[in-house]
Structure 1
Amino acid sequence: MLRLSLFFLVLFVVTLGALASPRSVRQLRRQSASFVLPVARRSRYQRPSGVKIFNPQYIKEEIRRILVKYQDAGKILASVGTNPSQDLNQYFPVNSSASPSSESVSSSSVNTEPPSLPGPTVILTSDTAKMQLTDLIDGSIDLMYYGPLNIGTPPQELTVDVDTGSADLWVPADCMACSNRQFDKNASSTYSEQGTGFNVYYGTGNVYAESAKDVVSIQGLSVQSQAFGAVSRVSEDFNGYPNSGLLGLAFSTIASSKQPTFFENLIREKQLAAPIFSVHLARNQETGSEVCFGCLDKGKTTGPVSMVPVMSKTYWAVRLDSISVNSTTAPAGDVIAAIDTGTTLIYVPANLARRFYDMIPGAKPAPEYDSVMFTYPCDADFIISLSFGGQNFAINNADFNMGPTEANSTDCVGGILGLGQGFPDNLAIIGDEFLKSWYSTFDYSDDARIGFSPSINNKV
């Protein structure tokens, strides 16, 4: 018994010594560190794969940015009006008859014809192009979609956030505070400065840009003298994102530069098979998203296109009729909805948000996060639909559900938020949360319209 006691005493002393040794402490630290999943360098918001507890950080920041991005929305919609046949021509006449003749179309080519859209079969040729997008993901939330754009001679490839909620193209150049890849003005033989500057307010802050022109291209589509902003100053939060700049695809009536957009120039120069671009946003997949310029990719859809008229050629603005939960409907009143690929969630006037969540049993405000947010029972079974132009479009609950409030919680955070405090009471912003369920075609013809067709995402 005495020998056994001495044995355990010696073993205890040796163990204490081992734990106290610097080498063992370093080993323990390494072992502990191995349980901490590293944050991906491409996103300061990235969380470990599989962790889907709601993270309010990005959403709170987006709310602040939305208020900046749309700070002039009330004035823009009121001053330009809602007559789509006149709005754009006040600023820039767009030729919408850019479709090629039927004789120029090869029937053996890949068919990307837009059903219900004007013109002949649209094929992937030199008068169309696809921009492959990368999805920036935070847990279960798709934060941003960005893709490659070439600028200059010889071309320099930079990545841009694709944003239908703004109308300026800008990239960093001679920007001391910018951490992402920049455009080298001195390396382009076709670069020219315009001698003026402007500020751009966008979904992730604001930038100051010098007006410039250069060759801008996506695959075979190229504008030889495209106006863009050479950015020298950015807001601090911009450097937390992987993209270099931004490609605005709204109408040039709201461009800070007061210049035609890249897409409008493609139409004016009759480079496109049709005056459309279509957007597919994948769900929680880094690759697979795309913008199809001049075309509609039927391989990304599972049904026909439903066309909705644009109310004003400013934002891609359509009338929001109502929001429904199952068979119960909350009329929206006189609300105009901006279809915005550069926004993550869905934002509606505060009173409409309250009426929407009243239709979900157990839903309640979530002031612990923000006064505009709500929670609802995670196990609730319902179908949410938005109505545009008298047509209902359902939202996949996988996109509406932003995750439980904490581990093992029965309450989840909803992806429709209500904004007040100076936000226009007749404006809604329809972001990626909706667009992942609906392949979207932005069409300049017939006084402008948007086509929604069911996305292949909904097969999963």
Structure 2
Amino acid sequence: MMLALAGFQLAFALLGTALTFPTIETKKGLLSFPVLQKRSQSVNLRKRDNVVALGNVSTLTYLIRLEIGTPPQPVEVVLDTGSFELWVDPTCATAATQGQEEKCNASGRYVPGQSSTYVDKGAKQYIGYGKGGAEISYAADSILVPGSNSQPLRNVVFGVGVDTTELAWGVGGIGHGNGFNLHYNNLIDELHAQGITQSKAFSIALGGQYSETGGAIIFGGVDTKKFGGKLHKFDNMPPQIEGSKEGPWRYWVQMKSVGITTPNKVVATYEYSTMPALLDTGSTWSYLPQHIFDSLQDDFNATLSEDGSLEVPCSIVDQPGTVDFTFGDLTIQVPYSEFISQLEPGYCALGVLPRKGSYDRAVLGDSFLRSAYVIFDQTNQHLYMASYHDCGTNEQILSGEVGAALNLTGQCHSGHHLFASIPMCWIIVPAAFVLWVLVLFL
């Protein structure tokens, strides 16, 4: 989620924070649990008789579940590498669509008065995002960590929504915290400070659009059965200049080019596509400069819709083409089936919007990240990437010497990604039918 404003001057004492999912076991040195997928079956782009801009709509959102307070109160927040603070309890009535409002109401609420360990920190802050914003009141409370023998971390600082706009969920920001953007420990800081992880590094596999099980996040670890080939190391670029002000620390990586491989294997690379790119799980869409947006529109013969999307025939979703993003000598090829989303029945759009402003910067959201496996390393300010595939689970601890991850090789072959992006029922049902026919007639 593209963060615009944050509480840089808040100075709280060292406090802990963590996330929980009740069925997960942890290994000493890492914390691993699923990323939840919440899908809007129909975006219903009109609310209160107004056309809702596509940038304010999430067709597929990736969430993590927390249990806060005593007794624990379950809530869900967006998994967001584009911001760095945790807050809960959005104002559901202001969500962009009716469907998002309903999902917001069903995502759980934290009620401070129902927790015996709640502490009011006496501070408020406004946080602005690429879409909407939140006024939050800071609190401290317990948050349970899975695998910690039911002993919660104490006095965790986080925000409780006072008034929010255009946001259907709270936000679990996992960007750079204390010493970078904040004067108190955020999630990544506390997981390390409390000894749950051996490094301030984590890895994310979002999973495909149609994956039955979704993805996974591993704090302090990596899964060698979620990518293929070697990991490629990149510098986490420092804050990028936006106008006359230096922005906050984020996960910026130097992108070499953007291009396309058509279903008939014609390859094109777009001019002037070398630029810094922000890796942002909190953004459903990828934001590219207008000239690249225009090139994609031409190559897909797409129609610019009133909501800002590039509409394409849904029939091309299953064609074997890719949108290609190159970083150094690594190219992440995003299949059409992952880059194109069905917004409503019969209405499909490319997962890209034009980035406003005169600066050539890219924001690579979920439409890109579903096809990438990424390690975010705050210990050494590096990013590691490979193409995402799913061939099982093999988790490894990332110590303070995260550079050792370069010696890890992904155990998956290229074919796994194809099946990861297809609903399992599309595979299992035909296979079962073939087996039944063989048994019947042989």
TM-score by length of 2: 0.65
CA deviations on 1:350-378 (whole Å, 9 max, x unpaired) are 122223444x2x625x3333456364795
Superposed displacement of residue 168, structure 1: 1.0
Matched, 1:448 2:382: yes
Q: Does the CA contact (< 8 Å) of 1:160 and 1:247 recur in 2? A: yes
Cα 1:354–1:173 change in 2 (3 A) is closer
Cα 1:142–1:305 change in 2 (3 A) is farther
**Which residue number corresponds to residue 425 of structure 2?**
none
Provide the secondary structure at the position in 1 that maps to 2:84.
Answer: coil
Matched, 1:227 2:163: no
Decide which of 352, 369, 378 is 1:435's aligned counterpart: 369
Unaligned runs of 5+ in 1: 1-65, 74-87, 95-122
Matched, 1:192 2:119: yes
Superposed displacement of residue 258, structure 1: 4.9
**Which residue number corresponds to residue 126 of structure 1?**
28
**Which residue number corresponds to residue 201 of structure 1?**
128
**Which residue number corresponds to residue 85 of structure 2?**
168
Superposed displacement of residue 398, structure 1: 0.2
Decide which of 35, 47, 60 is 1:143's aligned counterpart: 60
Q: Distance in 1 between matches of 2:352 and 2:34?
A: 28
Cα 1:219–1:353 change in 2 (3 A) is same
**Which residue number corresponds to residue 229 of structure 2?**
303
Superposed displacement of residue 275, structure 1: 2.6
TM-score by length of 1: 0.63
Unaligned runs of 5+ in 2: 15-24, 43-57, 95-103, 240-248, 262-266, 391-415, 420-442
Decide which of 335, 351, 355 is 2:295's aligned counterpart: 355
Q: Distance in 2 between matches of 1:232 and 1:256?
A: 22
Matched, 1:290 2:216: yes
Q: Does the CA contact (< 8 Å) of 1:168 and 1:256 recur in 2? A: no
Provide the secondary structure at the position in 2 that maps to 1:338.
Answer: strand
Provide the secondary structure at the position in 2 that maps to 1:342.
Answer: coil
**Which residue number corresponds to residue 315 of structure 1?**
250
Q: Does the CA contact (< 8 Å) of 2:176 and 2:378 recur in 1? A: no
Cα 1:217–1:349 change in 2 (3 A) is farther
Percentage identity across aligned positions? 23
Q: Does the CA contact (< 8 Å) of 2:35 and 2:62 recur in 1? A: yes
Superposed displacement of residue 450, structure 1: 3.4
Q: Distance in 2 between matches of 1:128 and 1:446?
A: 17
CA deviations on 1:285-310 (whole Å, 9 max, x unpaired) are 45332211111122333433222221
Q: Distance in 2 between matches of 1:261 and 1:194?
A: 15
**Which residue number corresponds to residue 425 of structure 1?**
359
In structure 1, what residue type is equivalent to 2:301? A
Cα 1:193–1:405 change in 2 (3 A) is closer
Provide the secondary structure at the position in 2 that maps to 1:227.
Answer: strand
**Which residue number corresponds to residue 369 of structure 1?**
306
Superposed displacement of residue 415, structure 1: 2.0
**Which residue number corresponds to residue 341 of structure 1?**
281
Q: Distance in 1 between matches of 2:377 and 2:322?
A: 28
Decide which of 224, 247, 267 is 2:192's aligned counterpart: 267
Q: Does the CA contact (< 8 Å) of 2:178 and 2:189 recur in 1? A: no
Q: Distance in 2 between matches of 1:254 and 1:286?
A: 39
Superposed displacement of residue 270, structure 1: 3.6
Provide the secondary structure at the position in 2 that maps to 1:213.
Answer: strand
For the aligned residue pairs, the C-alpha RMSD in angstroms reads 3.8
Matched, 1:392 2:331: yes
Q: Distance in 1 between matches of 2:116 and 2:80?
A: 28
Cα 1:372–1:427 change in 2 (3 A) is farther
Larger Rg: 1
Q: Does the CA contact (< 8 Å) of 2:5 and 2:129 recur in 1? A: no
In structure 1, what residue type is equivalent to 2:306? Y
In structure 2, what residue type is equivalent to 1:227? V
Q: Does the CA contact (< 8 Å) of 2:134 and 2:163 recur in 1? A: yes
Residues 247-262 of structure 1: matches in 2 within 5 Å?
247-252=172-177, 258-262=183-187
Provide the secondary structure at the position in 2 that maps to 1:165.
Answer: coil
CA deviations on 1:183-237 (whole Å, 9 max, x unpaired) are 13233333222211001224663221111222234313664332210222222x4
Q: Distance in 1 between matches of 2:5 and 2:127?
A: 12
